[in-house]
A = this chain, B = another copy of it.
Amino acid sequence: MTATKTARERARAELTREIKDEARRQLAEVGAHGLSLRAVARELGMVSSALYRYFPSRDRLLTELIIDAYDAVGEAAEKADPGKGDPRTRWHAVWQATRAWAKAHPHEYALIYGSPIPGYRAPQDTIVPAARVAQAMAKVLLEADPHEPAVTAPMSAELRGQAESLARALGAHAPAEVVTRLIGAWTQLFGAISFELFGQYVGSVDPSDAYFEHLTGQMADFVGL
């Protein structure tokens, strides 16, 4: 009830945090595939079974780490946006920050944008934090009232409906053409980061800094910035 919890609750909260921290540390070393509950417990000086008082399963621990990772990359993107000034500069900042976070936390990135690890679950808890980067991009774009793209292909009624309901969800009424292009840019951002981190650019654009830079500008054009 009150702000000061019982000793037990505080201990529990702290241990939960320590477990996640240690798991994150091991994740960075051995990847999601090699994350072992027993090893985490061992490192914390406890027995593996005790860990199940805090996380009912290994998958659940991973899910928590997934949510945290979405929030971390989302926060990185949001903080990078100065919030005012030249829209293209802001766009650039968001893209660079997202890529920088991914390169600094490759295993956490793989956890959220790689293949879904457990039994194909995309837990409901993840869809809100997962949208933060996209929302940061949308904020930059919509505050700059983009010009309509020169060439606009016809759009099916179904897609137009999806785009409009998505615009409503973002709390801004933007033309469907702009929304779909934003989705394209969002896809492109993570597609390029994934390709870079997962080794698909090896042999073509490697290192990828110059290309990513170029791509950032191209996609700013694409969305009408």
Contacts and interface: CB of A to CB of B under 8 A. Distances in A.
A166 interface: yes
Contacts of A158: 210
A95 to B, nearest CB: 13
Interface string A180-201: 1101100110111011001110
Interface residues of A, number: 53
Nearest to A195: B187
Interface in A152-170: 153, 155-156, 158-159, 162, 166
Interface in A185-225: 187-188, 190-192, 194-195, 198-200, 202-206, 210-211, 213-215, 217-218, 221-222
A80 interface: no
A22 to B, nearest CB: 21
A19 interface: no
Contacts of A205: 159, 162, 166, 183
Contact of A33 (B33, B190, B206): B33
Contacts of A215: 180, 184, 187
A155 to B, nearest CB: 6
A192 B187 contact: yes
Nearest to A117: B33
A218 B122 contact: no
Contacts of A202: 122, 127
A67 interface: no
A127 B187 contact: no
Contact of A159 (B110, B166, B210): B210
Contact of A166 (B184, B198, B204, B218): B204
A60 B116 CA distance: 21
A49 interface: no
A214 B153 contact: yes
Contacts of A32: 115
B199 A122 contact: yes
